[in-house]
Amino acid sequence: MGRLTVDLIAKSSVHVKNRRDEPLEQYLKKLTHLNFSNKNIDEIDDLSVCKNLSAIYLYDNNITQIHNLDFAFNLTHLYLQNNNITHIANLSSLQNLSKLYLSGNCISVVEELEGLTELRELHVENQRLPLGEKLLFDPRTLQSLKKSLCVLNIKKNNIDEIKELACLENLNQFMAEDNQIQDIKRSLMERR
C-alpha cells in the first residue's frame, strides 16, 4: 500500500460509509480515530487536516520512521507495534499522549520522549535487537517521565539491570519477564 495519505483515508470503505453526504474536508477535521493496521503502510504522509485525531492505530505495518504527527495535539493513544521503527523521534509535540505502544520494533534506545508529561503507559516489549544487544533508556527521557509513567512493559529485551528505572515514582504496573535480570527483588529494593 505504501503511504498513509488523506486520499487513502478518503477512499477507505469505512470512511466512505461513515462520511455519508458530508464534504471530505469537514469529515476529516472531525475524525477522531484512524485505523490502518496491517495495511502495508511504510510511511505517514501529511495528515494535518485531521486535527481532532485522538487515537491512531498503525500496528502490523512496515513503518520505519515516526514523522508527520506533530499536528495531532489531541492524540492520546498511538499504536505502532510490529513495524520496523529503529528510532523514537518526532513525538515531542504530542503533549496529550497518554499511551504509546512500540512493541515488536527494532528500537535499541528509549529516548526523545521529553515533553510527554501526560504519558501514562509505555509498551516497548519484544524489540527485534541484534544478538547480544539490550534495550537501553536515555536518562533524560526517564527523568521527564518520572512523575507521569504508571505502566511500563519491557518484556523480552535482554535487559540485565533496572536500577535506572528507580526514578519512575508512580510506576504501578511493571512487566519485565523474559529478560536477563539476575536479582529482580534486589533491583526493586534498590528502587525504594
Report pLDDT for 23. Answer: 87
Mean of per-residue pLDDT scores for the chain: 92
- What would the mean pLDDT of 124-133 be, rounded to a whole number? 96
Cβ(165)–Cβ(137) below 8 Å: yes
Bridge partner list, 35: 57
24 vs 134: CA distance, rounded Å: 46
Q: Which domains does the chain have, with CATH numbers?
A: 2-191 (3.80.10.10)
Bridge partner list, 4: 44
pLDDT band at 165 (very low <50, low <70, confident <90, very high): very high
Q: How many CB atoms lie within 10 A of CB 97?
A: 26
Element (H, E) at 100: strand 99-101
Q: Is the pLDDT of residue 138 over 70?
A: yes
In sequence order, which ranges of the chain are alpha helices (DSSP H)?
Answer: 6-11, 13-19, 24-30, 139-145, 184-191
pLDDT digit string (tens) for 69-128? Answer: 999 999 999 999 999 999 999 999 999 999 999 999 999 999 999 999 999 999 999 999
Report pLDDT for 184. Answer: 58
Q: Is the pLDDT of residue 67 over 60?
A: yes
C-alpha cell at position 54 = 485522538
- On the 0-12 / 13-18 / 19+ scale of CB atoms within 10 A, 115 is middle
Over pLDDT 90: what percentage of the chain? 84
pLDDT band at 182 (very low <50, low <70, confident <90, very high): confident
Cβ(27)–Cβ(50) below 8 Å: no
Which has the closest alpha carbon to 121: 83, 175, 163? 175
Q: Is the pLDDT of residue 187 over 90?
A: no
**Helix-, strand-, coil-residue percentages of the chain, each rounded to 5:** 20, 15, 60
Report pLDDT for 186. Answer: 55
C-alpha cell at position 50 = 485531521
- What would the mean pLDDT of 50-76 be, rounded to a whole number? 97
